[in-house]
A and B are shown apart, each in its own frame.
Chain A
């Protein structure tokens, strides 16, 4: 379990005070296109992240995740479209926009000649004076307070990742943008990072954009996903979509005493239904709200029902479905 010290609570408290002031959307990507040498890398994408939201950013290699993220943090220019961070356009109000973002892009390569503290001081000096004061508490947050005065070149990859996270939090950003942040972290470190991000989102209303190719990890972290493929956002999925379904049609698996008759009856009722390949059940596409109507139809038609189970499509299945045409 991620241990949160008293001082960290104080820091988180600062975050909370800050976030109470504003409620706007933290990140807004509006019709953004990126072309490099006439090749369109990102094509007219729209994204949005609100306070307290952890948004996963998924896509095959080369789909445009890192390009999008680099545009958000100012490492790439924007060919057309607009990106706003806390309402500040990064094209016209760059410094105000960037003051609200903390980020780790790819590996957090830090200055090997400096100590952990030296690195944090170097970056903090480019933010507000408060950022300099936060070094100690941020270091505690990532469990590096005991190693701050060691040279970075003596650090393990995991320790560098922690300093990398620390530098992103120094100035108490309202938006965190993390590109593959778990690279090089051991399972314990991954869990700690996950807990930290969740706690920041929940307690301090920080918005987080995380790109990753580790879907299982994302399932445990994100509230919402954008799936990008060939430079286009192909799907926006919320966790509810995956777990419940609501008005969307879902696959239901019905075990009956006569699967053939059940399939026919369901089709007559206007549902899309067929006997499963193994012949053991009937698969029916039906929205959650229509399930009672379908079952009562079968019962009145004399079909005996043993069980009715919602077929759950995992994030992974969805992801693979959506991106199946992509060359990886």
Chain B
């Protein structure tokens, strides 16, 4: 009997409402368009992710090099145009006026050298994502040093170096002729390797990339070691500065540790597995994630208690030194987890979802998490419309004179509208999944996601997200359903929850990175606005807003969020029935 009334509601209330039908269609269209647009947008933007954009429409002229036209979206465009201008200004506008004419000539010679270098680079590395770009910039450091050593005997070099070359003149003055020649030979070799990268032959360029990067790490390690030795001597001379010097030494030791345990192994891994930087492959993404989190792990070390006590910032954010230590430990384990995931994924040879943004898993997961806001608004609209519509249209008088108790009538209305709101969202998720499979391949759904405890099916994560999202939808739906019953006004019961949703998101953003007192800190995890989007709970990154909050002692969690939403939903539903049952139909 009850099911008959549910069917009656679905058929003659829900399906007959043009408003609900139109929004449902929009939702379904969205779920189909999402993967398609995602793919289209990605191919369109892949080459324009950095730079470029900002200058479009500024009307800058393109530059022609050997018949190749260089536009403002070329990573070296600004170097080339500013160097060209600099050279012109020396002769026409009298820049570098304090230089002698011979020094000016030497300066022009250097600037031309640099210009030629960038022109070579610009011809080959044409977009910001090209792995050659990073090396080309490093190469310019070698270039000025090589120029300096080559012209060491030139009386004008010092004047030019002071103005334009980043050289520590005091230090080079102490070097012997032999040391200088050694340095020159080494730098010239590195510069040669950098130049070798200016070839469209990716394999050859990649070989040079590995060589140069390894060289840079090794030189860095050597320089830091030298500096540590120097600081150690200074420490003996100035024991009074021990805190400052020791902290400097520790910093350099950490840098050496990172170079030796993270960067050099990364370079070797790239070399062995031929993982080209920024090539869009999942392996590169995994490797970058691993490197970044390993670095964060190494650099995230707790401050000493004395340091903690002398920092008002830290004191404000943590209740005690031990709380601070716990928080740092949490961050470190977060970073460590991400390293393990990347490593497991690379070892297994299958991408974790997070490394394959253009995969069916990531796209469908992104849809289910990213469009929850739209689903919330939709469910608020359906919930608000459901009962208030009967009052506003006056049909409630004809509805409630039937041989059905108000409880039954309201239950049928509630369930039909709720199942519509939730059903449309779930249906759109399924459609989206199918279309993602068609666009990006169904095989990706079979790939596991990696966790600290081992690989897990994608669907366990996906369905957990959907279930959590249903709790959000049920909360918003029930609140608007309650308002619909209490206010009998559609507009009011739509506006209030949506203002709450927007306001809650603002509050969430406000508290995510803000120092708050202990009371707020303990209350915050029970505030519904902390959980208007659960996506963050499915990412382990300590850098995420959730990660930041948790590390500062705001103990938000997925379980708490779902519980808070379901509790509010239950109260709202109970009140709806209470009010609906008791009220006199005066309208």
Q: Is A110 interfacial (CB-CB < 8 Å)? A: yes
For residue B381, give the distance in angstroms from its CB to the closest CB of chain A.
16
Interface string of B550-587 (1 = CB under 8 A from A): 00000000000000000000000000000000101100
Q: Is B393 interfacial (CB-CB < 8 Å)? A: yes
Q: Are A36 and B584 in contact (CB under 8 A)?
A: yes
Interface string of A103-129 (1 = CB under 8 A from B): 101111111111000100111011100
Interface string of B368-410 (1 = CB under 8 A from A): 0000000000000000000000000111011111111100000
Contact of A123 among B13, B16, B402, B585 (CB under 8 A): B402
Q: In the assembled complex, which residues on chain B have CB atoms less than 8 Å from the CB atom of A123?
A: 398-399, 402
Contact of A127 among B394, B403, B405 (CB under 8 A): B403
Q: Are B395 and A75 in contact (CB under 8 A)?
A: no
Q: Are B397 and A118 in contact (CB under 8 A)?
A: no
Q: Are A107 and B17 in contact (CB under 8 A)?
A: no
Instruction: Name the residue on A nearest B392 (C-beta).
Output: A109
Known: A122-B8, A122-B12. A112 touches B402 (CB 8 A): no
Q: Are A109 and B397 in contact (CB under 8 A)?
A: yes
Contact of A75 among B7, B397, B405 (CB under 8 A): B397
Q: Are B18 and A113 in contact (CB under 8 A)?
A: yes
Instruction: Name the residue on B nearest A66 (C-beta).
Output: B586
Q: Are B8 and A70 in contact (CB under 8 A)?
A: no
Q: Is A98 interfacial (CB-CB < 8 Å)? A: yes
Q: Is B4 interfacial (CB-CB < 8 Å)? A: yes
Q: In the assembled complex, which residues on chain A have CB atoms less than 8 Å from the CB atom of B18?
A: 113
Q: Are B16 and A125 in contact (CB under 8 A)?
A: no
How many angstroms between the C-alpha atoms of A257 and B395 in the bound complex?
A: 67
Known: A77-B582, A94-B405, A96-B403. A125 touches B397 (CB 8 A): no
Q: In the assembled complex, which residues on chain A have CB atoms less than 8 Å from the CB atom of B13?
A: 122
How many angstroms between the C-alpha atoms of A114 and B389 in the bound complex?
A: 14
Q: In the assembled complex, which residues on chain A have CB atoms less than 8 Å from the CB atom of B296?
A: none
Q: Are A118 and B16 in contact (CB under 8 A)?
A: yes
Q: Is A95 interfacial (CB-CB < 8 Å)? A: yes
Contact of B398 among A97, A121, A167 (CB under 8 A): A167
The number of residue pairs between A and B whose CB atoms lie closer than 8 Å in the complex comes to 76
Q: In the assembled complex, which residues on chain B have CB atoms less than 8 Å from the CB atom of A77?
A: 582, 584
How many angstroms between the C-alpha atoms of A94 and B17 in the bound complex?
A: 30
Q: Is A227 interfacial (CB-CB < 8 Å)? A: no
How many angstroms between the C-alpha atoms of A36 and B13 in the bound complex?
A: 32
Q: Is B5 interfacial (CB-CB < 8 Å)? A: yes
Q: Are A109 and B401 in contact (CB under 8 A)?
A: no
Q: In the assembled complex, which residues on chain B have CB atoms less than 8 Å from the CB atom of A107?
A: 394
Instruction: Name the residue on B nearest A106 (C-beta).
Output: B397
Q: Are A108 and B584 in contact (CB under 8 A)?
A: no
Instruction: Name the residue on B nearest A179 (C-beta).
Output: B397
Q: Are B401 and A105 in contact (CB under 8 A)?
A: yes
How many angstroms between the C-alpha atoms of A110 and B401 in the bound complex?
A: 13
* Interface of A toward B, CB cutoff 8 Å: 36, 70, 73-77, 94-99, 101, 103, 105-114, 118, 121-123, 125-127, 164, 167
What are the 7 tightest A-B residue pairs by CB atom distance, in nearest-first order?
A109-B394, A99-B403, A126-B402, A75-B585, A125-B8, A98-B403, A122-B12
11 further contact pairs, Cβ within 8 A, besides A97-B403, A113-B18, A122-B13: A75-B401, A75-B585, A98-B404, A109-B393, A109-B398, A111-B12, A111-B395, A118-B12, A123-B402, A125-B7, A125-B8
